Amino acid sequence: MTMKKRSLIVVLVTLSILLIATPFFNSNTTIATTSQPLKSFEEKAALVSIHVKDRTELDKLVEAGFDLTEHVHQHEDGTYDVDAIVTPSELKKIRNQGFEFETVYTKAEAEQRIAERKSQVKKLDQATSSEDSITILRANFFENYSGTFLYVEAKTSAGAASNVALTATWDAGKGTEIGSGGEATLRRVEDYGEYLYHQLLLPIEEIPHQIKIESNQGGTSTATISEWLGEDKPDPDKPHYVSDFVDHYMDSTEITERIESLAEEFPELAEVIELPNQSNGYRRKAQALLGDNTNDSVVVTSNDWGHEGGNDISISLEKPEEEQAELSLHIDGQEIVVSLATDENGNVSSTASDVITLLNQEANELVSADTFRGAEGDGIVTPESSVQLDDNLDAPDSISRDPFTVKALRIGKHRDGSKTGVFAYSQEHAREWVTPLVSIETAERLLRNYAHDPETRKYVDNLDIFIVPTVNPDGAHFSMYDYNWQRKNMTNHCVDTDFSDPLAQDYWGVDLNRNHSVGSVHDGYIGASTNCTSAVYAGPEEVSEPEAQNLIWLAEQNPNIKFAMNIHSYGGYFMWPPGAYTENRETLPRPTAGEEAYFWQASETILDEIRDYRGTVILPSRTGPIPDVLYSAAGNSADALWYDYGIYAWDFEVGADIWNEEQGRWQSVGFQPPFEEGHAEAMEFANGMNGLFDVAYQYAKDKKPPKSKATPGKGTYDEPVEVSFDSSEPATIYYTLDGSKPTFESDKIQIKDTREGAETLMIEETTTIHWFAMDAAGNVEKHYNPDGNGNNYNKAKITIK
Ligand SMILES: [Zn+2]
């Protein structure tokens, strides 16, 4: 496994563990109280694993607004390792607080990923730069004990790219039309990463005469089908299923193009929905930071976006030759020339704040200026010649700087709202590069297996599937081209704060999985911050961000959506609401016992599918309601979907730990693992999505009411009794104990406690229990109508002597 190559710098600190009294803010986001060199604010972050002794300490890290990953490993002794992104100076603080930690993943490794990706993209561009040519290597039929089979091998000149798809159509015998016999996508065959050919093996009814292979790159070829005469016939027992459509980490521009081309290729089955709220855009104001120390430095920011002229502005601080010169400024085209004041000896006497005042008065058509991090600005400035303002964005010009239209791919034979909706969305967090691959792989599998795979056809014909592969395109571009640890979007809400300087730019943005309105930090829930530089910044208000508004819009527009999967990385978790708690660990309302049972039951189907790919087991300790297995995430999107829209909303954390043979322990995979690992994660969690489609399909078909039973039932008892309810399937029990008719307003059977089963009712005196059960699909026991006049609910009189 490639994981072995990872260099582990193990730094163990054995101080006694202290509680964290002050938040760990990055040196990059601290106020300049004394004059310090600007250099000390330039630090490269790394991913480290911090050892914490218990849940309370973990919550303190969460409350401190620390940049925690979604990976928390609990040891058998009850202690935890939590991965976090930290700078060297933060590490120092962690060490001083007595925490143990180790560096897992450094910036250098991320750079390696980017280099890998670049060379792969180049290879793919070459492969797909022109129409491909197709060679049909074999086109045979054969018969065996179980039927007649079609076997085809074809090779495309663009085979290096795994998004190149070959589709076969064939006739139903000589003289019939091509296509009348059937249609299927060929499966790509590789050996040690090298493309060999595409292949097809399917049972057929009629023996075809001619076959035609077409590529989505334009190539086409036909052949006559002959009988397989040799021995060694392919094994027809494996159903033909095509998968594996991702071969490199993709940026949001590529991902969006991919779903567009899929919709174009499969107009009958898919369409693109443009979400109404454009992102702010992969863009920044151009800035310059003049000076060497916090007190003598000047932060200059362009009025225009960098790409719209800000990057053309430059600024000079000139020292005049004369003594007792006055501070003055003139603008020469796009160059701002400040002539500094001098004293009687001819030395510069202008302070940073003098220069700032002047810039704000006389150059305000081009720029604004400020001190660094709230410094006094009373230091004397240093002359500088022609410093260019820069937006510091390194993506190639092919990445648009304009606001981005986030798109959903809607897949289904009937996309009219009549079918049960499933909503999958990924990359709320920019740095989670594997997650959009899960979405793309899922979409391709649905579309390319539709023609010949009955399972897939079942999903596409009966469900209405919405996939948003990249919720946060601006952040994703920034993560791929500028700062790989970027988690948030790119909207800068620090503009009028002390953190508006360019050294804080990696800390701007809103955490899109903390910006929602349910269980928000603004309502007192923890795991989000109101500080604009925090990794879990919730935004200036609830649902302030266009990217978050898009998800809500989609749920609102499509009330048929009943299931959602919020795809994150890493850690190998499978979770559901509630997702947030207050500092006293009061969670949002727990689902009822019946709903909780349904979440668990569905999880089994989904986790089984994941395991099928390479044996990855999502641990029971990482499956369950979020507060039970991870940490509070105030204002997350799954909670918004569940509590406001009644959608069964899960969170995937793809990327389960990998067993490290050499070290004899589990090791985390990180946000941007070597592609080989990222690819495997995409494959197994795309499997998991099929599990979700299966759950949704069963739901859609479920018209059968549940049956329930109270134990002990009616009767006469000597002592108080504890009554429990069983149902034929996961179902919510609504009940009354006062003889009234049970309705949807009645009490519901809840779960007893964290990770426990359903509560029981303690009956101490003679009582008649009235109740009914309702399953996840909304079927009510005995077709009882709780809003009507009927009385066909369950009754049990418990007489206590
Ligand atoms: Zn995430």
Give the C-alpha distances (Å, rounded to integers) separating 756 from 289, 723, 750: 56, 16, 10
Mean pLDDT in residue range 648-666:
88
Going from the Cα of 799 to the center of ligand 1, the distance in angstroms, rounded, reads 53
Task: Quote the percentage of the chain above a pLDDT of 70.
Answer: 96
Q: Is 195 helix (H, G, I), strand (E, B) or coil?
A: strand
Q: Indicate the pTM of the whole model.
A: 0.92
Give the tens place of pLDDT for each residue, 191-214: 887 899 999 999 999 999 999 999
Mean pLDDT in residue range 578-604:
94
- Concatenated DSSP letters for 349-398? --BHHHHHHHHHHHSTTTEEEE-STT----SBPPPEEEEEPB----S-TT
Closest CA to 39 of 47, 31, 28: 28
Enter the tokens of residue 442: 């899922």
Mean pLDDT of the chain: 91
**pLDDT score of 621:** 85
C-alpha to C-alpha distance for 18 and 98, rounded to whole angstroms: 6
Going from the Cα of 570 to the center of ligand 1, the distance in angstroms, rounded, reads 7
Going from the Cα of 651 to the center of ligand 1, the distance in angstroms, rounded, reads 9
Beta bridge partners of 134: 156
- Concatenated DSSP letters for 221-241? EEEE-EE--SS----TTSPP-
**pLDDT score of 52:** 87
**pLDDT score of 27:** 58
Going from the Cα of 432 to the center of ligand 1, the distance in angstroms, rounded, reads 7
Q: Is 771 helix (H, G, I), strand (E, B) or coil?
A: strand
**pLDDT score of 26:** 57
Going from the Cα of 653 to the center of ligand 1, the distance in angstroms, rounded, reads 7
Going from the Cα of 256 to the center of ligand 1, the distance in angstroms, rounded, reads 20
Give the tens place of pLDDT for each residue, 683-693: 999 999 999 99
- Asked whether the predicted pLDDT for residue 736 surpasses 60, the reply is yes
Going from the Cα of 613 to the center of ligand 1, the distance in angstroms, rounded, reads 23
Q: Which range is least confidently modeled, 11-15, 410-414, 639-643?
A: 11-15
HSE toward the beta carbon, residue 755, CA cutoff 13 A: 10
Beta bridge partners of 420: 463
Going from the Cα of 429 to the center of ligand 1, the distance in angstroms, rounded, reads 5
C-alpha to C-alpha distance for 51 and 521, rounded to whole angstroms: 26
Confidence class of residue 565 from pLDDT cuts 50, 70 and 90?
very high
Q: Which range is least confidently modeled, 27-36, 554-563, 644-653?
A: 27-36
Give buried/exposed letters for 605-614 (b at 16+ CB in 10 A, else e).
Answer: bbbebbeebe
Name the more confident of 48 and 600.
Answer: 600
Going from the Cα of 507 to the center of ligand 1, the distance in angstroms, rounded, reads 16
Q: Are 90 and 27 in contact (CB under 8 A)?
A: yes
Give the C-alpha distances (Å, rounded to integers) separating 3 from 10, 97, 104, 172, 674: 16, 30, 11, 50, 8
- Asked whether the predicted pLDDT for residue 58 surpasses 50, the reply is yes
**pLDDT score of 296:** 96
**pLDDT score of 188:** 92
**pLDDT score of 728:** 96
C-alpha to C-alpha distance for 442 and 354, rounded to whole angstroms: 59
Q: Which range is least confidently modeled, 197-211, 661-675, 757-771?
A: 661-675
Going from the Cα of 532 to the center of ligand 1, the distance in angstroms, rounded, reads 18
The tokens 């218990």 sit on which residue? 54
State residue 296 phi and psi, 5-degree precision.
Answer: -105, 15
Give the tens place of pLDDT for each residue, 609-637: 999 999 999 988 899 998 888 889 999 99
Name the more confident of 292 and 238.
Answer: 292
Going from the Cα of 513 to the center of ligand 1, the distance in angstroms, rounded, reads 7
Mean pLDDT in residue range 94-98:
76
